[in-house]
Amino acid sequence: MAETARRFHRAVVTGGAGFLGSHLCERLLAEGTEVVCLDNFLTGEPDNVGHLISDGRFRMVPCDVSEFIHVPGKADLVLHFASPASPTDYLKYPIDTLRVGSLGTLHALGLAAEKGARFILASTSEVYGDPLRHPQSEDYWGNVNPVGPRGVYDEAKRFSEALTMAYRHSRGLDTGIVRIFNSYGPRMRPHDGRAIPTFIMQALAGDPLTIAGDGSQTRSVCHVSDTVSGILALAASAEPGPVNIGSPQELSVLDLATRIVELTGSSSPLAFTERPVDDPTTRCPDITLARTRLGWEPKVDRDEGLRDTIAWFAERTEQQMTAAAA
């Protein structure tokens, strides 16, 4: 277990209007922490935090952290979650992805140093690339193609990890690095290119589910509520990381698609498409560190989490159809 646990009075969340960031803001508020949410809405959505605006402890600040960060007042936690995170997004915004991983991280670290705050970096399982070790533990250095199409995201996160450790070792900043594996849940963007929202939207519409390659590549999916619990467990600890946060229950993309068809009651067929360049063959975390140092492991059953996510997408789709018909 972690040696220390602490509560935070005021947190800054960069990328706070994104999928993961918005859930972090929500949980922090529920735990009694004031939240300053910074987002430039490149891939985040104001609606993700719209329900928090009326809370006097929440402040939304439109801000591009690659340019400048200014947060008046005290803060004892900085969570740096600003970045395009899906292949569709970082292939569309390659320079922005590299900027937020480098300059954005530099600015967020500077803010944490100014405030004397704990700093948590949202890194990713993508730093392992197409791994040659399975499952992936934190001491594995990865198999990344720096000049491939996914390199803009992979290398941005690898650089941000190095920068975070440089601040820790040279300036004594209290830092932690979380390597997040495939998370899913409500507030994912329906067309961001990731497997779960894509499969759900296709199944709800009765369209073919498009599976890259033969679908034998594996992923380990973790419900967002579990991911957030792991992130905040790291924040409340003294651990520097990196620490993997994700589900060790691996499944193939084909099995994931088939299960979503079953859970939606859809009659959608499966369609197979060309597999993207550098698409990882396997992806599964070793969470020994998270279990032993943080006392964390995922609790949400996969089917339960998928049902929750499907219900959210179905309701959102119905609302949009109703609004369009009005």
User: Average pLDDT over the chain, rounded to whole?
Assistant: 94
Which candidate in 90, 93, 128, 153 is catalytic? 153
Q: Tell me, what DSSP letter sits at residue 127?
A: G
Measured in degrees and rounded to the nearest 5, phi and psi for residue 135 equal: -70, 175
Residue 35 has pLDDT above 90, yes or no: yes
Which secondary-structure segment (H or E) carries 36?
strand 34-39
3-state SS track over 52-106: HCCCCCEEEEECCCCCCCCCCCCCCEEEECCCCCCHHHHHHCHHHHHHHHHHHHH
> Which letter does DSSP use for residue 281 in this model?
S
Q: What is the pTM of this model?
A: 0.94
pLDDT tens figures, 194-213: 999 999 999 999 999 999 99
- pLDDT at 273 exceeding the cut of 50: yes
The pLDDT, as a whole number, for residue 183 is 96
CB atoms within 10 A of CB 319: 10
Residue 182 is which amino acid? Answer: N
Q: What is the pLDDT of residue 5?
A: 66
* DSSP bridge pairs for 265: none
The pLDDT of residue 299 is 97
Is residue 254 over pLDDT 80?
yes
| Strands 218-219, 251-252: pairing kind | antiparallel
Q: For the chain, which domains are there? A: 10-187+223-248+284-300 (3.40.50.720)
Check pLDDT > 80 for residue 3.
Answer: no
Determine the pLDDT at residue 319.
Answer: 81
- For the cut 90, the answer to whether the pLDDT of residue 281 exceeds it is no
Q: Would the pLDDT of 1 be above 50?
A: no
Q: How confident is the model at residue 2 (pLDDT cuts 50, 70, 90)?
A: very low
For residue 4, pLDDT beyond 50: no
So what's the pLDDT on residue 276? 83
Active site residue 90: no
pLDDT in tens, 223-251: 999 999 999 999 999 999 999 999 999 99
Determine the pLDDT at residue 87.
Answer: 86
Which residues have C-beta within 8 Å of that of residue 118, sequence separation ≥ 6? Answer: 8, 76, 77, 78, 112, 174, 175, 176, 235
The confidence score (pLDDT) of residue 230 equals 98
Please give the Cα distance from 77 to 120 (Å, whole number).
8
pLDDT in tens, 16-26: 999 999 999 99
The lowest-confidence range among 2-11, 137-146, 184-193, 307-316 is 2-11
Tell me which H or E stretch contains 178.
strand 175-180
Check residue 290 and report its DSSP letter: I
Confidence of residue 322 (pLDDT cuts 50, 70, 90): confident
On the question of pLDDT at 166 being above 90, the answer is yes
